[in-house]
Amino acid sequence: KKLGWALVGLGSLSKNQIAPALLKTKRARLAAIVTGTPAKADEWKAKYSIPDTHVYNYETFDKIAENPDVDVIYIVLPNGMHEEFVVRAAKAGKHVFCEKPMANTADECRRMIAAVKAAGKMLGVGYRCQFEPHHRECMRLAKEKVFGPLKFIEAGFGFQIGDPKQWRLRKNLAGGGALMDVGVYALQACRYLTGEEPIEITAQETKTDPVKFAEVDETISWSMKFPSGVLASVMTTYAFNGSNFFTAICQGGRFGMDPAYSYDGLKGWTSKPDVKIEFPATDHFEVEVDAFSDAILNNKPFAQSGEEGLRDLLAVEAIYRSIKEGKAAKVEAP
Ligand code: NAD
pLDDT in tens, 75-95: 999 999 999 999 999 999 999
Centre of ligand 1 from the C-alpha of residue 152, in Å: 34
**Phi (first) and psi of residue 254, to 5 degrees:** -140, 155
Nearest alpha-carbon partner for 139 in 189, 211, 175: 189
The overall average pLDDT reported for the chain is 98
DSSP 64-122: GGG-TT--EEEE-S-GGGHHHHHHHHHHTT-EEEEPSS--SSHHHHHHHHHHHHHTT--
d(CA 257, CA 233): 15
**Ligand 1 in reach of 183 Cβ (< 6 A):** no
Q: Could you report the per-residue pLDDT of 248-307, keeping only the tens digit for each? A: 999 999 999 999 999 999 999 999 999 999 999 999 999 999 999 999 999 999 999 999
- Cis amide prior to 334 (ω within 30 degrees): no
**What is the 12 CA–ligand 1 centroid distance (Å)?**
7
Strand partners, 254: 249
Decide whether any atom of ligand 1 lies within 6 Å of the 36 Cβ: yes
Q: Rounded to whole angstroms, how far apart are CA atoms 252 and 148?
A: 5
Rounded to the nearest whole angstrom, what is the distance from the C-alpha of residue 58 to the centroid of ligand 1?
14
The answer to whether ipTM exceeds 0.85 is yes
d(CA 31, CA 271): 46
120: left (phi over 0), alpha (psi -120 to 50) or beta: left
> How far is Cα 174 from Cα 271, in angstroms, rounded to an integer?
38
Distance of CA 230 to the CA centre of its chain: 23
* Backbone phi and psi for residue 312, each to the nearest 5 degrees, phi listed first: -65, -45
- Give whole-number Cα distances, 157 to 86, 189, 257, 258, in Å: 27, 11, 12, 10
Asked if residue 173 has its Cβ within 6 Å of ligand 1, the reply is yes
The verdict on the CB of residue 284 being under 6 Å from ligand 1 is: no
Tell the residue nearest (CA) to atom 30 of ligand 1: 76
Query: Which residue among 61, 88, 99, 187 is best mutated to probe the pocket of ligand 1, counting the most ligand atoms within 8 A of its Cβ?
Result: 99
Phi, psi of 38 (to 5 degrees): -55, -35
User: Mapping DSSP to helix (H, G, I), strand (E, B) and coil, where does residue 42 land?
Assistant: helix
Give me the long-range contacts of 299-306 (CB less than 8 A, separation at least 24). Answer: 302/122, 302/124, 303/130, 304/124, 304/125, 304/126, 304/127, 304/130, 304/131, 305/122, 305/123, 305/124, 305/125, 306/98, 306/102, 306/109, 306/112, 306/113, 306/116, 306/123, 306/124, 306/125
How far out from the chain centre does Cα 56 lie? Answer: 25
Determine the Cα–Cα distance for residues 111 and 237; give it in Å rounded to an integer: 29
pTM, two decimals, is 0.98
Positions annotated as catalytic residues are: 100, 185
The residue whose CA is least distant from atom 19 of ligand 1 is 167
Residue nearest to atom 9 of ligand 1 (CA): 11
Domains of the chain: 3-128+287-303 (3.40.50.720), 130-280+312-330 (3.30.360.10)
Ligand 1 in reach of 169 Cβ (< 6 A): no
* Preceding omega of 259 cis (within 30 degrees of 0): yes
Q: Kindly tell me the sign of the dihedral angle through the C-alpha atoms of 74, 136, 168, 153.
A: positive
Residues of the chain with pLDDT > 90, as a percent, come to: 100
Question: For 303-325, what is the mean pLDDT?
Answer: 98
| Top mutation candidate among 77, 100, 182 for ligand 1, by most atoms within 8 Å of CB | 77
Give tens-digit pLDDT for 172-220.
999 999 999 999 999 999 999 999 999 999 999 999 999 999 999 999 9
